[in-house]
Amino acid sequence: NAGVTQTPKFRILKIGQSMTLQCAQDMNHNYMYWYRQDPGMGLKLIYYSVGAGITDKGEVPNGYNVSRSTTEDFPLRLELAAPSQTSVYFCASCGGDYNEQFFGPGTRLTVL
Amino acid sequence: AQSVTQLDSQVPVFEEAPVELRCNYSSSVSVYLFWYVQYPNQGLQLLLKYLSGSTLVESINGFEAEFNKSQTSFHLRKPSVHISDTAEYFCAVTEFNKLIFGAGTRLAVHP
Protein backbone atom coordinates (compact mmCIF):
# COMPACT_ATOMS: atom_id res chain seq x y z
CA ASN A 1 0.00 0.00 0.00
CA ALA A 2 1.20 3.49 -0.84
CA GLY A 3 -0.89 4.92 2.02
CA VAL A 4 -1.73 8.60 1.56
CA THR A 5 -0.09 10.35 -1.36
CA GLN A 6 -0.02 14.07 -2.12
CA THR A 7 1.01 16.01 -5.19
CA PRO A 8 2.77 18.29 -5.79
CA LYS A 9 5.45 18.37 -3.08
CA PHE A 10 6.21 22.05 -3.65
CA ARG A 11 4.49 24.86 -5.50
CA ILE A 12 4.92 28.59 -5.87
CA LEU A 13 1.85 30.58 -6.90
CA LYS A 14 1.33 34.19 -7.77
CA ILE A 15 -1.38 36.15 -5.98
CA GLY A 16 -4.72 35.51 -7.65
CA GLN A 17 -3.76 32.22 -9.28
CA SER A 18 -5.67 29.02 -8.61
CA MET A 19 -4.52 25.47 -8.13
CA THR A 20 -5.61 22.06 -6.94
CA LEU A 21 -3.71 20.03 -4.37
CA GLN A 22 -4.17 16.34 -4.97
CA CYS A 23 -4.64 13.71 -2.28
CA ALA A 24 -5.25 10.01 -2.72
CA GLN A 25 -5.38 7.02 -0.38
CA ASP A 26 -5.45 3.32 -1.14
CA MET A 27 -6.61 2.03 2.26
CA ASN A 28 -10.34 2.24 1.48
CA HIS A 29 -10.78 4.76 4.27
CA ASN A 30 -14.07 6.61 4.49
CA TYR A 31 -12.75 9.64 6.33
CA MET A 32 -10.38 12.15 4.75
CA TYR A 33 -9.05 15.48 5.97
CA TRP A 34 -7.15 18.54 4.83
CA TYR A 35 -5.00 20.49 7.27
CA ARG A 36 -2.70 23.43 7.01
CA GLN A 37 0.35 23.77 9.24
CA ASP A 38 1.81 27.14 10.08
CA PRO A 39 4.87 27.55 12.32
CA GLY A 40 3.98 27.45 16.01
CA MET A 41 0.27 26.98 15.25
CA GLY A 42 -0.07 23.24 15.01
CA LEU A 43 -2.48 21.81 12.46
CA LYS A 44 -5.69 23.54 11.54
CA LEU A 45 -8.49 21.58 9.86
CA ILE A 46 -9.61 23.09 6.55
CA TYR A 47 -12.19 20.58 5.28
CA TYR A 48 -13.06 16.98 5.89
CA SER A 49 -15.15 14.24 4.36
CA VAL A 50 -16.87 11.26 5.94
CA GLY A 51 -17.45 9.48 2.65
CA ALA A 52 -17.80 9.94 -1.08
CA GLY A 53 -20.13 12.82 -1.86
CA ILE A 54 -20.04 14.24 1.68
CA THR A 55 -17.82 17.13 2.75
CA ASP A 56 -17.88 19.60 5.60
CA LYS A 57 -16.02 22.67 6.74
CA GLY A 58 -13.35 22.59 9.37
CA GLU A 59 -11.87 25.41 11.37
CA VAL A 60 -10.33 27.47 8.53
CA PRO A 61 -12.27 26.82 5.27
CA ASN A 62 -12.25 30.31 3.76
CA GLY A 63 -10.47 30.48 0.41
CA TYR A 64 -10.64 26.74 -0.18
CA ASN A 65 -12.99 24.22 -1.74
CA VAL A 66 -13.09 20.43 -1.81
CA SER A 67 -14.90 17.62 -3.54
CA ARG A 68 -15.09 13.90 -2.87
CA SER A 69 -16.37 12.04 -5.90
CA THR A 70 -14.58 8.78 -5.03
CA THR A 71 -13.48 7.09 -1.83
CA GLU A 72 -9.84 7.34 -2.90
CA ASP A 73 -9.46 11.00 -3.86
CA PHE A 74 -9.96 14.23 -1.96
CA PRO A 75 -8.61 17.25 -3.89
CA LEU A 76 -8.29 20.68 -2.31
CA ARG A 77 -8.90 23.68 -4.53
CA LEU A 78 -7.44 27.12 -3.89
CA GLU A 79 -9.20 29.91 -5.72
CA LEU A 80 -7.57 33.33 -5.97
CA ALA A 81 -4.46 32.49 -3.96
CA ALA A 82 -3.41 34.97 -1.28
CA PRO A 83 -0.14 35.30 0.68
CA SER A 84 -2.03 34.17 3.81
CA GLN A 85 -2.38 30.76 2.17
CA THR A 86 1.37 30.22 2.25
CA SER A 87 1.64 27.10 4.37
CA VAL A 88 2.31 23.39 4.41
CA TYR A 89 -0.78 21.37 3.57
CA PHE A 90 -1.35 17.85 4.83
CA CYS A 91 -3.95 15.37 3.77
CA ALA A 92 -4.95 12.53 6.10
CA SER A 93 -7.28 9.57 6.05
CA CYS A 94 -8.95 7.46 8.70
CA GLY A 95 -10.73 4.15 8.58
CA GLY A 96 -13.00 5.14 11.43
CA ASP A 97 -11.03 3.16 13.98
CA TYR A 98 -10.90 5.49 16.96
CA ASN A 99 -9.95 8.41 14.73
CA GLU A 100 -6.39 7.21 14.12
CA GLN A 101 -5.36 9.26 11.10
CA PHE A 102 -2.71 8.48 8.51
CA PHE A 103 -0.94 11.46 6.98
CA GLY A 104 0.52 12.20 3.59
CA PRO A 105 3.99 13.78 3.16
CA GLY A 106 2.62 17.29 2.66
CA THR A 107 2.62 20.02 0.00
CA ARG A 108 4.64 23.16 0.68
CA LEU A 109 2.85 26.10 -0.96
CA THR A 110 4.21 29.61 -1.28
CA VAL A 111 2.06 32.47 -2.58
CA LEU A 112 4.00 35.53 -3.75
CA ALA B 1 -15.43 22.36 21.73
CA GLN B 2 -12.31 20.49 22.60
CA SER B 3 -8.98 22.23 22.89
CA VAL B 4 -5.48 20.93 23.47
CA THR B 5 -2.71 22.80 25.23
CA GLN B 6 0.90 21.79 24.89
CA LEU B 7 2.58 23.70 27.63
CA ASP B 8 6.06 23.92 26.13
CA SER B 9 6.71 25.13 22.59
CA GLN B 10 10.36 24.04 22.74
CA VAL B 11 12.21 21.57 24.95
CA PRO B 12 16.01 21.39 24.69
CA VAL B 13 17.62 18.40 26.34
CA PHE B 14 20.94 16.59 26.32
CA GLU B 15 21.30 13.11 24.89
CA GLU B 16 20.52 10.31 27.38
CA ALA B 17 18.62 12.68 29.68
CA PRO B 18 14.93 12.09 30.52
CA VAL B 19 12.25 14.26 28.98
CA GLU B 20 8.58 15.04 29.55
CA LEU B 21 6.38 16.80 27.02
CA ARG B 22 3.20 18.08 28.58
CA CYS B 23 -0.30 17.96 27.12
CA ASN B 24 -3.62 19.00 28.62
CA TYR B 25 -7.02 18.81 26.98
CA SER B 26 -10.21 20.63 27.82
CA SER B 27 -12.95 18.05 28.22
CA SER B 28 -13.46 15.42 30.87
CA VAL B 29 -15.84 13.33 28.77
CA SER B 30 -14.56 10.10 27.27
CA VAL B 31 -11.95 10.83 24.63
CA TYR B 32 -9.29 9.10 22.62
CA LEU B 33 -5.82 10.63 22.88
CA PHE B 34 -2.87 10.54 20.54
CA TRP B 35 0.72 11.64 20.25
CA TYR B 36 2.06 12.19 16.75
CA VAL B 37 5.70 12.86 15.79
CA GLN B 38 6.88 14.91 12.85
CA TYR B 39 10.49 14.60 11.73
CA PRO B 40 11.92 17.46 9.65
CA ASN B 41 10.27 17.85 6.24
CA GLN B 42 7.99 14.88 6.78
CA GLY B 43 4.36 14.22 7.54
CA LEU B 44 3.00 13.22 10.92
CA GLN B 45 3.39 9.68 12.20
CA LEU B 46 1.43 8.13 15.03
CA LEU B 47 3.65 7.61 18.08
CA LEU B 48 1.14 6.18 20.54
CA LYS B 49 -2.51 6.31 21.48
CA TYR B 50 -4.85 5.89 24.42
CA LEU B 51 -8.24 4.38 23.65
CA SER B 52 -9.25 2.60 26.85
CA GLY B 53 -7.90 0.26 29.50
CA SER B 54 -4.48 0.77 31.03
CA THR B 55 -3.74 4.45 31.51
CA LEU B 56 -0.07 3.94 30.63
CA VAL B 57 0.62 3.40 26.93
CA GLU B 58 3.97 2.79 25.27
CA SER B 59 5.52 3.19 21.85
CA ILE B 60 8.01 0.85 20.20
CA ASN B 61 10.86 3.36 20.53
CA GLY B 62 10.73 3.87 24.29
CA PHE B 63 8.22 6.69 24.70
CA GLU B 64 5.30 6.35 27.08
CA ALA B 65 2.32 8.50 27.95
CA GLU B 66 -0.03 8.40 30.89
CA PHE B 67 -3.69 9.26 30.67
CA ASN B 68 -4.85 11.17 33.75
CA LYS B 69 -8.58 11.74 33.60
CA SER B 70 -8.83 13.87 36.75
CA GLN B 71 -6.15 16.25 35.49
CA THR B 72 -7.21 15.95 31.82
CA SER B 73 -3.60 15.35 30.90
CA PHE B 74 -1.71 13.02 28.59
CA HIS B 75 1.98 13.78 29.14
CA LEU B 76 4.63 12.10 27.02
CA ARG B 77 7.84 10.84 28.62
CA LYS B 78 11.03 9.08 27.70
CA PRO B 79 13.65 8.07 30.29
CA SER B 80 16.65 8.50 27.97
CA VAL B 81 16.49 10.41 24.68
CA HIS B 82 18.59 9.98 21.56
CA ILE B 83 19.70 12.48 18.96
CA SER B 84 17.26 10.78 16.58
CA ASP B 85 14.33 11.81 18.80
CA THR B 86 14.78 15.40 17.64
CA ALA B 87 11.41 16.24 16.09
CA GLU B 88 8.16 18.05 16.68
CA TYR B 89 5.57 16.28 18.80
CA PHE B 90 1.85 16.88 18.60
CA CYS B 91 -0.79 15.88 21.11
CA ALA B 92 -4.30 15.34 19.73
CA VAL B 93 -7.75 14.53 21.10
CA THR B 94 -10.85 13.28 19.33
CA GLU B 95 -13.92 15.37 18.73
CA PHE B 96 -16.62 13.44 16.86
CA ASN B 97 -14.99 12.42 13.56
CA LYS B 98 -12.10 14.83 13.90
CA LEU B 99 -8.84 15.29 15.74
CA ILE B 100 -8.01 18.49 17.57
CA PHE B 101 -4.27 19.14 17.68
CA GLY B 102 -2.12 21.07 20.07
CA ALA B 103 0.35 23.65 18.76
CA GLY B 104 3.24 21.20 19.03
CA THR B 105 6.41 20.89 21.09
CA ARG B 106 9.77 20.98 19.38
CA LEU B 107 12.15 18.56 21.08
CA ALA B 108 15.80 19.32 20.40
CA VAL B 109 18.27 16.71 21.63
CA HIS B 110 21.85 17.92 21.95
CA PRO B 111 25.01 15.78 22.18
The pLDDT tens digits for B8-59 are: 999 999 999 999 999 999 876 778 999 999 998 888 999 999 988 888 999 9
User: Which residues in chain A are closer than 8 Å to B42, comparing Cβ atoms?
Assistant: 105-106
Residue B28 confidence (pLDDT): 62
Residue A66 confidence (pLDDT): 97
- Give SS3 for A103: strand
User: Which residues in chain A are closer than 8 Å to B9, comparing Cβ atoms?
Assistant: 40
* Rounded-to-integer distance, Cα B105 and Cα B29, Å: 25
Residue A97 confidence (pLDDT): 65
The answer, yes or no, to whether residue B102 has pLDDT greater than 90, is: yes
The answer, yes or no, to whether residue B79 has pLDDT greater than 90, is: yes
Which residues in chain A land under pLDDT 70? 97
User: Which residues in chain B are closer than 8 Å to A100, comparing Cβ atoms?
Assistant: 34, 46, 49
Is B32 an interface residue toward A (CB < 8 Å)? yes
Q: Which of B42, B99, B104 sits opposite A101 (nearest CB)?
A: B99
Give B100 to chain A, closest Cα distance, Å. 8
Determine whether the interchain pair A106/B98 forms a contact, defined as Cβ–Cβ distance below 8 Å.
no
Determine whether the interchain pair A42/B49 forms a contact, defined as Cβ–Cβ distance below 8 Å.
no
Residue A75 confidence (pLDDT): 98
* Rounded-to-integer distance, Cα A68 and Cα A52, Å: 5
Instruction: Tell me the average pLDDT of chain B.
Output: 92
Residue A57 confidence (pLDDT): 96
Q: Please tell me what DSSP assigns to residue A73.
A: B
Q: Which of A43, A48, A57, A60 to mutate to test the interface with B (most CBs of B within 10 A)?
A: A43
Beta carbons of B6 and B103 less than 8 angstroms apart: yes
Determine whether the interchain pair B42/A105 forms a contact, defined as Cβ–Cβ distance below 8 Å.
yes
Q: Which of B4, B2, B10 is nearest to B35 (CA)?
A: B4
Question: By a Cβ cutoff of 8 Å, what residues of chain A touch chain B?
Answer: 4, 31, 33, 40-43, 45, 48, 50, 58, 90, 92, 94, 98-106
- Give the up-direction half-sphere exposure of residue A112: CA atoms within 13 A in the CB hemisphere: 4
